[in-house]
Amino acid sequence: MENIAAQLKRGISRQFSTGSIRRSLSRQFSRQSSLDPRRNNLRFSFGRQSSLDPIRRCPSEDDVELSVPENLDSTMQLLFLACRGDVSGVEDLLNQGIDVNSIDLDGRTALHIAACEGHVDVARLLLTRKANIDARDRWGSTAAADAKYYGNTDVYNILKARGAKVPKTRKTPMTVANPREVPEYELNPLELQVRKSDGITKGTYQVAKWNGTKVSVKILDKESYSDPERINAFNNELTLLEKVRHPNVVQFVGAVTQNIPMMIVVEYHPKGDLGSYLQKKGRLSPSKALRFAVDIARGMNYLHECKPDPIFHCDLKPKNILLDNGGQLKITGFGLIRLSIISPDKAKLAQPWADHGHSSLYVAPEIYKDEIFDRSVDVYSFGLILYEMIEGVQPFHPKPIEEALRMMCLEGKRPPMRTKSKSYPSVLKELIEECWNPDPYGRPTFSEIIIRLDKIVANCTKQGWWKDTFKLPWK
Protein backbone atom coordinates (compact mmCIF):
# COMPACT_ATOMS: atom_id res chain seq x y z
CA MET A 1 0.00 0.00 0.00
CA GLU A 2 2.92 2.34 0.60
CA ASN A 3 3.92 1.83 -3.02
CA ILE A 4 0.38 2.71 -4.16
CA ALA A 5 0.38 5.92 -2.10
CA ALA A 6 3.73 6.93 -3.57
CA GLN A 7 2.58 6.27 -7.11
CA LEU A 8 -0.68 8.13 -6.48
CA LYS A 9 1.30 11.11 -5.24
CA ARG A 10 3.38 11.09 -8.41
CA GLY A 11 0.17 10.76 -10.41
CA ILE A 12 -1.21 13.91 -8.80
CA SER A 13 1.94 15.85 -9.63
CA ARG A 14 1.57 14.79 -13.26
CA GLN A 15 -1.93 16.35 -13.27
CA PHE A 16 -3.92 13.16 -13.72
CA SER A 17 -7.67 13.65 -13.56
CA THR A 18 -9.57 12.19 -10.63
CA GLY A 19 -11.05 9.55 -12.90
CA SER A 20 -7.62 8.64 -14.26
CA ILE A 21 -6.24 8.27 -10.74
CA ARG A 22 -9.05 5.94 -9.76
CA ARG A 23 -8.72 3.86 -12.92
CA SER A 24 -4.95 3.71 -12.41
CA LEU A 25 -5.43 2.50 -8.85
CA SER A 26 -7.96 -0.08 -9.96
CA ARG A 27 -5.55 -1.46 -12.55
CA GLN A 28 -2.76 -1.43 -10.00
CA PHE A 29 -4.79 -3.47 -7.50
CA SER A 30 -5.50 -5.97 -10.27
CA ARG A 31 -1.83 -6.25 -11.19
CA GLN A 32 -0.74 -6.69 -7.59
CA SER A 33 -3.43 -9.27 -6.96
CA SER A 34 -2.17 -11.38 -9.86
CA LEU A 35 1.39 -11.15 -8.56
CA ASP A 36 0.69 -11.58 -4.85
CA PRO A 37 -1.87 -14.25 -3.87
CA ARG A 38 -2.23 -12.72 -0.42
CA ARG A 39 -3.92 -9.72 -2.02
CA ASN A 40 -6.62 -11.72 -3.80
CA ASN A 41 -10.29 -11.19 -2.88
CA LEU A 42 -9.60 -7.99 -0.94
CA ARG A 43 -13.21 -6.96 -1.49
CA PHE A 44 -14.89 -10.31 -1.01
CA SER A 45 -18.70 -9.98 -1.17
CA PHE A 46 -20.56 -11.18 1.91
CA GLY A 47 -24.18 -12.25 2.11
CA ARG A 48 -25.59 -9.05 3.55
CA GLN A 49 -24.21 -5.58 3.12
CA SER A 50 -23.98 -2.63 5.51
CA SER A 51 -27.34 -1.24 6.60
CA LEU A 52 -26.27 2.16 5.27
CA ASP A 53 -24.70 0.93 2.03
CA PRO A 54 -26.61 2.64 -0.82
CA ILE A 55 -26.69 -0.68 -2.73
CA ARG A 56 -27.91 -3.24 -0.20
CA ARG A 57 -28.59 -6.79 -1.30
CA CYS A 58 -29.96 -9.92 0.30
CA PRO A 59 -28.23 -13.29 0.21
CA SER A 60 -28.58 -15.20 -3.04
CA GLU A 61 -28.86 -18.95 -3.52
CA ASP A 62 -25.15 -19.02 -4.32
CA ASP A 63 -24.38 -17.76 -0.80
CA VAL A 64 -26.05 -20.68 1.04
CA GLU A 65 -23.12 -23.08 0.88
CA LEU A 66 -20.13 -20.97 1.83
CA SER A 67 -16.63 -22.31 1.76
CA VAL A 68 -13.41 -20.42 2.43
CA PRO A 69 -11.94 -19.26 -0.91
CA GLU A 70 -8.23 -19.73 -1.46
CA ASN A 71 -5.66 -17.01 -0.86
CA LEU A 72 -7.72 -14.84 1.50
CA ASP A 73 -5.57 -12.70 3.78
CA SER A 74 -6.00 -13.07 7.55
CA THR A 75 -8.49 -10.20 7.87
CA MET A 76 -10.70 -11.53 5.12
CA GLN A 77 -10.54 -15.05 6.58
CA LEU A 78 -11.81 -13.68 9.89
CA LEU A 79 -14.66 -11.80 8.22
CA PHE A 80 -15.55 -14.76 6.02
CA LEU A 81 -15.72 -17.21 8.92
CA ALA A 82 -17.81 -14.69 10.88
CA CYS A 83 -20.17 -14.52 7.89
CA ARG A 84 -20.44 -18.31 7.83
CA GLY A 85 -21.05 -18.46 11.58
CA ASP A 86 -17.99 -20.64 12.21
CA VAL A 87 -17.33 -19.96 15.91
CA SER A 88 -14.39 -22.35 16.24
CA GLY A 89 -12.79 -21.02 13.04
CA VAL A 90 -13.10 -17.44 14.27
CA GLU A 91 -11.68 -18.45 17.66
CA ASP A 92 -8.70 -20.19 16.03
CA LEU A 93 -7.83 -17.06 14.04
CA LEU A 94 -8.11 -14.83 17.10
CA ASN A 95 -5.87 -17.23 19.03
CA GLN A 96 -3.31 -16.88 16.23
CA GLY A 97 -3.15 -13.14 16.96
CA ILE A 98 -5.50 -11.74 14.32
CA ASP A 99 -6.84 -8.35 15.45
CA VAL A 100 -10.52 -8.70 16.35
CA ASN A 101 -11.13 -5.21 14.96
CA SER A 102 -9.46 -5.80 11.59
CA ILE A 103 -11.38 -4.15 8.75
CA ASP A 104 -11.86 -4.70 5.03
CA LEU A 105 -11.77 -2.00 2.35
CA ASP A 106 -15.22 -0.82 3.40
CA GLY A 107 -14.30 -0.49 7.07
CA ARG A 108 -16.33 -3.60 8.02
CA THR A 109 -15.33 -5.67 11.06
CA ALA A 110 -16.17 -9.26 11.91
CA LEU A 111 -18.76 -7.93 14.40
CA HIS A 112 -20.48 -6.03 11.58
CA ILE A 113 -20.67 -9.24 9.55
CA ALA A 114 -21.93 -11.39 12.44
CA ALA A 115 -24.58 -8.77 13.22
CA CYS A 116 -25.77 -8.73 9.61
CA GLU A 117 -26.04 -12.53 9.49
CA GLY A 118 -27.51 -12.92 12.97
CA HIS A 119 -24.77 -15.23 14.30
CA VAL A 120 -25.28 -14.81 18.04
CA ASP A 121 -22.47 -17.11 19.20
CA VAL A 122 -19.93 -15.43 16.91
CA ALA A 123 -21.02 -12.01 18.17
CA ARG A 124 -20.63 -13.14 21.82
CA LEU A 125 -17.16 -14.52 21.10
CA LEU A 126 -16.04 -11.32 19.39
CA LEU A 127 -17.33 -9.22 22.30
CA THR A 128 -15.39 -11.33 24.82
CA ARG A 129 -12.29 -10.53 22.74
CA LYS A 130 -12.99 -6.79 23.11
CA ALA A 131 -14.50 -6.14 19.71
CA ASN A 132 -15.33 -2.44 19.25
CA ILE A 133 -19.12 -2.17 19.39
CA ASP A 134 -18.99 1.41 18.11
CA ALA A 135 -16.82 0.74 15.04
CA ARG A 136 -18.30 2.36 11.93
CA ASP A 137 -17.92 1.22 8.35
CA ARG A 138 -17.37 3.56 5.41
CA TRP A 139 -21.06 4.50 5.38
CA GLY A 140 -21.19 5.21 9.13
CA SER A 141 -23.04 2.04 10.07
CA THR A 142 -22.40 0.14 13.34
CA ALA A 143 -22.93 -3.53 14.16
CA ALA A 144 -26.06 -2.57 16.15
CA ALA A 145 -27.48 -0.70 13.17
CA ASP A 146 -26.84 -3.72 10.93
CA ALA A 147 -28.45 -6.14 13.38
CA LYS A 148 -31.52 -3.94 13.75
CA TYR A 149 -31.89 -3.40 9.99
CA TYR A 150 -31.85 -7.12 9.22
CA GLY A 151 -34.14 -8.00 12.15
CA ASN A 152 -31.54 -9.96 14.12
CA THR A 153 -33.12 -9.17 17.48
CA ASP A 154 -30.92 -11.44 19.64
CA VAL A 155 -27.69 -9.89 18.39
CA TYR A 156 -29.15 -6.40 18.61
CA ASN A 157 -30.23 -6.92 22.24
CA ILE A 158 -26.77 -8.22 23.19
CA LEU A 159 -25.13 -5.16 21.65
CA LYS A 160 -27.70 -2.79 23.14
CA ALA A 161 -27.14 -4.27 26.63
CA ARG A 162 -23.45 -3.37 26.26
CA GLY A 163 -24.28 0.25 25.43
CA ALA A 164 -24.29 0.14 21.65
CA LYS A 165 -26.44 2.75 19.95
CA VAL A 166 -27.81 2.94 16.45
CA PRO A 167 -26.33 6.06 14.82
CA LYS A 168 -28.76 8.59 13.45
CA THR A 169 -28.79 8.82 9.69
CA ARG A 170 -27.57 12.28 8.70
CA LYS A 171 -28.11 13.36 5.13
CA THR A 172 -26.05 16.11 3.59
CA PRO A 173 -27.51 18.77 1.28
CA MET A 174 -25.78 16.94 -1.60
CA THR A 175 -26.96 13.41 -0.77
CA VAL A 176 -28.10 11.61 -3.93
CA ALA A 177 -31.20 9.44 -4.12
CA ASN A 178 -29.70 6.91 -6.52
CA PRO A 179 -26.35 5.35 -5.59
CA ARG A 180 -25.36 5.42 -9.25
CA GLU A 181 -25.40 9.22 -9.01
CA VAL A 182 -22.64 9.32 -6.37
CA PRO A 183 -19.91 11.51 -7.93
CA GLU A 184 -16.75 9.85 -9.19
CA TYR A 185 -14.68 12.14 -6.97
CA GLU A 186 -16.39 10.92 -3.77
CA LEU A 187 -13.87 9.82 -1.11
CA ASN A 188 -14.34 7.47 1.81
CA PRO A 189 -14.16 9.73 4.91
CA LEU A 190 -12.64 6.85 6.89
CA GLU A 191 -9.58 7.10 4.65
CA LEU A 192 -9.00 10.70 5.78
CA GLN A 193 -7.13 11.40 8.98
CA VAL A 194 -7.68 15.01 10.03
CA ARG A 195 -6.08 16.51 13.10
CA LYS A 196 -8.89 18.34 14.84
CA SER A 197 -6.78 19.93 17.56
CA ASP A 198 -4.90 22.36 15.34
CA GLY A 199 -7.29 25.25 15.96
CA ILE A 200 -7.72 25.85 12.23
CA THR A 201 -9.83 28.85 11.23
CA LYS A 202 -13.18 27.94 9.71
CA GLY A 203 -13.28 27.80 5.93
CA THR A 204 -9.54 27.30 5.49
CA TYR A 205 -7.57 24.26 4.39
CA GLN A 206 -5.70 22.15 6.92
CA VAL A 207 -3.24 19.31 6.65
CA ALA A 208 -4.59 15.76 6.68
CA LYS A 209 -3.60 12.30 5.47
CA TRP A 210 -5.42 10.33 2.83
CA ASN A 211 -4.28 6.70 2.58
CA GLY A 212 -0.90 7.76 3.97
CA THR A 213 -0.44 10.71 1.59
CA LYS A 214 -0.50 14.27 2.92
CA VAL A 215 -3.33 16.38 1.50
CA SER A 216 -5.07 19.67 2.30
CA VAL A 217 -8.67 19.44 3.49
CA LYS A 218 -11.35 22.07 3.86
CA ILE A 219 -14.14 20.99 6.22
CA LEU A 220 -17.58 22.57 6.04
CA ASP A 221 -18.42 23.76 9.55
CA LYS A 222 -21.64 22.71 11.34
CA GLU A 223 -23.38 26.07 10.96
CA SER A 224 -23.16 25.88 7.16
CA TYR A 225 -25.52 22.95 6.55
CA SER A 226 -28.61 25.07 7.18
CA ASP A 227 -27.28 28.04 5.20
CA PRO A 228 -28.08 27.73 1.46
CA GLU A 229 -25.58 30.46 0.61
CA ARG A 230 -22.67 28.59 2.22
CA ILE A 231 -23.75 25.32 0.61
CA ASN A 232 -23.85 27.04 -2.79
CA ALA A 233 -20.37 28.49 -2.17
CA PHE A 234 -19.07 25.02 -1.23
CA ASN A 235 -20.65 23.49 -4.32
CA ASN A 236 -19.31 26.25 -6.59
CA GLU A 237 -15.75 25.81 -5.32
CA LEU A 238 -16.07 22.04 -5.73
CA THR A 239 -17.41 22.37 -9.29
CA LEU A 240 -14.54 24.63 -10.36
CA LEU A 241 -11.84 22.52 -8.70
CA GLU A 242 -13.21 19.38 -10.33
CA LYS A 243 -12.97 20.76 -13.84
CA VAL A 244 -9.58 22.54 -13.79
CA ARG A 245 -6.35 20.69 -14.66
CA HIS A 246 -3.15 22.68 -15.09
CA PRO A 247 0.41 22.48 -13.69
CA ASN A 248 0.05 25.98 -12.22
CA VAL A 249 -3.36 25.44 -10.64
CA VAL A 250 -3.84 23.51 -7.39
CA GLN A 251 -4.77 19.86 -8.04
CA PHE A 252 -8.16 18.59 -6.90
CA VAL A 253 -8.01 15.16 -5.21
CA GLY A 254 -11.63 14.50 -4.25
CA ALA A 255 -14.43 15.41 -1.88
CA VAL A 256 -16.81 14.04 0.74
CA THR A 257 -20.39 15.06 -0.10
CA GLN A 258 -22.47 12.06 0.98
CA ASN A 259 -21.34 12.12 4.62
CA ILE A 260 -21.12 14.76 7.33
CA PRO A 261 -18.87 16.66 7.61
CA MET A 262 -18.59 17.52 3.93
CA MET A 263 -15.01 18.12 2.78
CA ILE A 264 -12.97 19.25 -0.21
CA VAL A 265 -9.55 17.64 -0.61
CA VAL A 266 -6.69 19.08 -2.69
CA GLU A 267 -2.96 18.40 -2.98
CA TYR A 268 -0.74 19.47 -0.10
CA HIS A 269 2.13 21.92 -0.48
CA PRO A 270 4.64 21.79 2.40
CA LYS A 271 6.45 24.92 1.18
CA GLY A 272 3.45 27.08 2.07
CA ASP A 273 2.23 30.14 0.18
CA LEU A 274 3.96 32.94 -1.68
CA GLY A 275 2.97 35.50 0.97
CA SER A 276 4.86 33.67 3.71
CA TYR A 277 7.76 33.05 1.33
CA LEU A 278 8.09 36.77 0.53
CA GLN A 279 7.93 37.71 4.21
CA LYS A 280 10.84 35.37 4.85
CA LYS A 281 12.93 36.09 1.72
CA GLY A 282 12.15 39.73 1.01
CA ARG A 283 13.10 40.99 -2.45
CA LEU A 284 13.59 38.14 -4.92
CA SER A 285 16.35 37.88 -7.48
CA PRO A 286 15.22 39.07 -10.93
CA SER A 287 15.46 35.54 -12.35
CA LYS A 288 13.33 34.02 -9.58
CA ALA A 289 10.81 36.86 -9.69
CA LEU A 290 10.42 36.34 -13.45
CA ARG A 291 10.12 32.57 -13.08
CA PHE A 292 7.44 32.98 -10.42
CA ALA A 293 5.66 35.61 -12.54
CA VAL A 294 5.51 33.22 -15.51
CA ASP A 295 4.01 30.47 -13.30
CA ILE A 296 1.32 32.82 -12.00
CA ALA A 297 0.53 34.16 -15.46
CA ARG A 298 0.22 30.67 -16.95
CA GLY A 299 -2.11 29.49 -14.20
CA MET A 300 -4.27 32.61 -14.47
CA ASN A 301 -4.35 32.47 -18.26
CA TYR A 302 -5.65 28.91 -18.02
CA LEU A 303 -8.44 30.00 -15.65
CA HIS A 304 -9.36 32.95 -17.86
CA GLU A 305 -9.47 30.77 -20.98
CA CYS A 306 -11.61 28.00 -19.46
CA LYS A 307 -14.55 26.99 -21.64
CA PRO A 308 -17.42 27.59 -21.84
CA ASP A 309 -17.06 30.30 -19.19
CA PRO A 310 -13.88 32.02 -17.97
CA ILE A 311 -13.03 31.75 -14.27
CA PHE A 312 -12.51 35.12 -12.58
CA HIS A 313 -10.38 34.78 -9.46
CA CYS A 314 -11.21 38.18 -7.91
CA ASP A 315 -8.98 37.52 -4.90
CA LEU A 316 -5.56 36.86 -6.42
CA LYS A 317 -2.94 37.55 -3.75
CA PRO A 318 0.29 35.95 -2.48
CA LYS A 319 -1.63 33.95 0.16
CA ASN A 320 -3.59 32.29 -2.65
CA ILE A 321 -0.45 31.17 -4.50
CA LEU A 322 1.19 27.96 -3.28
CA LEU A 323 4.74 26.62 -3.72
CA ASP A 324 5.31 22.95 -4.45
CA ASN A 325 8.46 20.98 -3.61
CA GLY A 326 10.00 21.82 -6.97
CA GLY A 327 9.57 25.56 -6.48
CA GLN A 328 6.66 25.78 -8.92
CA LEU A 329 3.73 28.07 -8.12
CA LYS A 330 0.09 26.98 -8.14
CA ILE A 331 -3.02 29.16 -8.03
CA THR A 332 -5.63 28.42 -5.37
CA GLY A 333 -8.52 30.27 -3.71
CA PHE A 334 -10.57 30.80 -6.89
CA GLY A 335 -14.32 30.21 -6.87
CA LEU A 336 -14.72 31.59 -3.34
CA ILE A 337 -16.14 34.98 -4.32
CA ARG A 338 -19.80 34.78 -5.33
CA LEU A 339 -20.47 36.65 -8.58
CA SER A 340 -23.47 37.91 -10.50
CA ILE A 341 -22.70 37.17 -14.14
CA ILE A 342 -23.64 40.05 -16.43
CA SER A 343 -22.30 38.47 -19.65
CA PRO A 344 -19.63 35.84 -20.51
CA ASP A 345 -16.92 38.50 -19.99
CA LYS A 346 -18.55 40.77 -17.41
CA ALA A 347 -19.49 40.24 -13.78
CA LYS A 348 -20.32 42.00 -10.54
CA LEU A 349 -19.93 40.89 -6.95
CA ALA A 350 -23.09 39.34 -5.53
CA GLN A 351 -22.48 41.49 -2.47
CA PRO A 352 -20.20 44.53 -2.04
CA TRP A 353 -16.54 43.84 -1.30
CA ALA A 354 -16.81 45.59 2.06
CA ASP A 355 -19.41 42.99 3.14
CA HIS A 356 -17.05 40.06 2.58
CA GLY A 357 -15.55 40.57 6.02
CA HIS A 358 -11.92 40.72 4.89
CA SER A 359 -9.55 43.12 3.19
CA SER A 360 -7.09 42.39 0.41
CA LEU A 361 -4.40 44.84 -0.57
CA TYR A 362 -4.41 43.41 -4.09
CA VAL A 363 -8.08 43.92 -5.00
CA ALA A 364 -8.76 45.92 -8.17
CA PRO A 365 -10.43 49.35 -7.99
CA GLU A 366 -13.51 48.09 -9.89
CA ILE A 367 -14.15 45.41 -7.26
CA TYR A 368 -13.37 47.76 -4.37
CA LYS A 369 -15.88 50.31 -5.72
CA ASP A 370 -18.52 47.62 -6.43
CA GLU A 371 -18.55 48.21 -10.18
CA ILE A 372 -19.05 45.84 -13.11
CA PHE A 373 -15.70 44.31 -14.05
CA ASP A 374 -14.01 41.87 -16.43
CA ARG A 375 -11.07 39.46 -16.13
CA SER A 376 -8.59 42.35 -16.09
CA VAL A 377 -9.17 42.69 -12.32
CA ASP A 378 -6.85 39.71 -11.91
CA VAL A 379 -4.22 41.37 -14.11
CA TYR A 380 -4.27 44.37 -11.75
CA SER A 381 -3.66 42.05 -8.78
CA PHE A 382 -0.86 40.34 -10.70
CA GLY A 383 0.87 43.70 -11.23
CA LEU A 384 0.92 44.37 -7.48
CA ILE A 385 2.23 40.87 -6.75
CA LEU A 386 5.03 41.28 -9.31
CA TYR A 387 5.87 44.64 -7.73
CA GLU A 388 6.11 43.01 -4.29
CA MET A 389 8.41 40.25 -5.58
CA ILE A 390 10.78 42.84 -7.05
CA GLU A 391 10.63 45.42 -4.25
CA GLY A 392 10.48 42.97 -1.34
CA VAL A 393 7.70 44.91 0.43
CA GLN A 394 3.95 45.27 0.03
CA PRO A 395 2.64 48.31 -1.83
CA PHE A 396 2.87 51.46 0.32
CA HIS A 397 4.43 49.54 3.20
CA PRO A 398 4.17 50.20 6.17
CA LYS A 399 0.81 51.96 5.75
CA PRO A 400 -2.30 50.04 6.97
CA ILE A 401 -4.11 48.02 4.32
CA GLU A 402 -7.24 50.19 4.34
CA GLU A 403 -5.21 53.38 3.84
CA ALA A 404 -3.17 51.81 1.02
CA LEU A 405 -6.38 50.57 -0.62
CA ARG A 406 -7.94 54.03 -0.55
CA MET A 407 -4.79 55.52 -2.06
CA MET A 408 -4.73 52.99 -4.92
CA CYS A 409 -8.44 52.40 -5.57
CA LEU A 410 -9.95 55.81 -4.85
CA GLU A 411 -7.07 58.27 -5.37
CA GLY A 412 -5.40 56.39 -8.26
CA LYS A 413 -1.96 56.41 -6.64
CA ARG A 414 0.61 53.67 -7.23
CA PRO A 415 3.59 52.60 -5.07
CA PRO A 416 7.02 53.88 -6.09
CA MET A 417 9.64 51.62 -7.66
CA ARG A 418 12.64 51.93 -5.32
CA THR A 419 14.82 49.07 -6.55
CA LYS A 420 17.67 50.30 -8.74
CA SER A 421 16.74 50.13 -12.39
CA LYS A 422 19.98 48.31 -13.29
CA SER A 423 18.78 45.33 -11.23
CA TYR A 424 15.97 44.55 -13.66
CA PRO A 425 14.96 45.49 -17.22
CA SER A 426 13.06 48.74 -17.66
CA VAL A 427 10.50 46.83 -19.72
CA LEU A 428 9.55 44.92 -16.59
CA LYS A 429 8.67 48.17 -14.84
CA GLU A 430 6.61 49.14 -17.89
CA LEU A 431 4.75 45.83 -17.71
CA ILE A 432 3.90 46.34 -14.03
CA GLU A 433 2.61 49.85 -14.76
CA GLU A 434 0.42 48.52 -17.57
CA CYS A 435 -1.00 45.78 -15.33
CA TRP A 436 -2.12 48.23 -12.64
CA ASN A 437 -3.45 50.76 -15.15
CA PRO A 438 -6.55 52.50 -13.66
CA ASP A 439 -8.27 51.91 -17.00
CA PRO A 440 -9.14 48.17 -17.30
CA TYR A 441 -8.93 48.41 -21.11
CA GLY A 442 -5.31 49.51 -20.83
CA ARG A 443 -4.22 46.33 -19.05
CA PRO A 444 -2.71 43.43 -21.03
CA THR A 445 -4.24 39.96 -21.00
CA PHE A 446 -2.39 37.09 -19.34
CA SER A 447 -1.67 35.53 -22.74
CA GLU A 448 0.10 38.78 -23.71
CA ILE A 449 1.88 38.89 -20.35
CA ILE A 450 3.26 35.37 -20.85
CA ILE A 451 4.74 36.30 -24.24
CA ARG A 452 6.37 39.41 -22.84
CA LEU A 453 7.76 37.66 -19.78
CA ASP A 454 9.19 34.86 -21.92
CA LYS A 455 11.01 37.42 -24.05
CA ILE A 456 12.43 39.12 -20.95
CA VAL A 457 13.62 35.79 -19.56
CA ALA A 458 15.25 34.96 -22.89
CA ASN A 459 17.52 37.98 -22.44
CA CYS A 460 18.85 36.76 -19.12
CA THR A 461 22.56 35.90 -19.19
CA LYS A 462 23.86 32.47 -18.21
CA GLN A 463 24.91 33.86 -14.82
CA GLY A 464 21.34 34.91 -14.07
CA TRP A 465 21.99 38.65 -14.35
CA TRP A 466 20.10 40.95 -16.66
CA LYS A 467 21.74 42.89 -19.45
CA ASP A 468 21.81 46.58 -18.58
CA THR A 469 20.37 47.65 -21.88
CA PHE A 470 18.70 45.72 -24.63
CA LYS A 471 15.99 46.16 -27.21
CA LEU A 472 12.97 43.88 -27.19
CA PRO A 473 11.22 42.89 -30.44
CA TRP A 474 7.83 44.30 -29.53
CA LYS A 475 9.16 47.79 -28.62
| Contact yes or no for 209/195 (Cβ under 8 A) | no
Contacts of 13 (CB under 8 A, 6+ apart): 251, 267, 324
Type of residue numbered 249: V
Judging by beta carbons within 10 Å of its beta carbon (0-12, 13-18, 19+), is residue 240 exposed, middle or buried? Answer: middle
Separation between Cα atoms, residue 465 and residue 324, nearest integer Å? 25
Phi, psi angle pair for 105, to nearest 5°: -65, -20
DSSP 239: H
Nearest Cα to 288, choosing from 278, 276, 298?
278
> Is 92 a residue of the active site?
no
Residue 373, beta-bridge partner list: 347
Phi, psi angle pair for 259, to nearest 5°: -130, 155
Phi, psi angle pair for 263, to nearest 5°: -145, 150
Residue 193, beta-bridge partner list: 209
Radius of gyration of the chain (CA): 28
List of long-range contacts for 409-412, beta carbons under 8 Å, 24+ apart: 409/363, 409/364, 409/365, 409/368, 409/369, 410/365, 410/368, 410/369, 412/365, 412/438
Packing angle, helices 446-458 and 426-435, rounded to 10: 170
Catalytic residue among 86, 104, 146, 315: 315
Three-state secondary-structure class, residue 35: helix
Cβ atoms within 10 Å, residue 311: 20
Residues with catalytic roles: 315
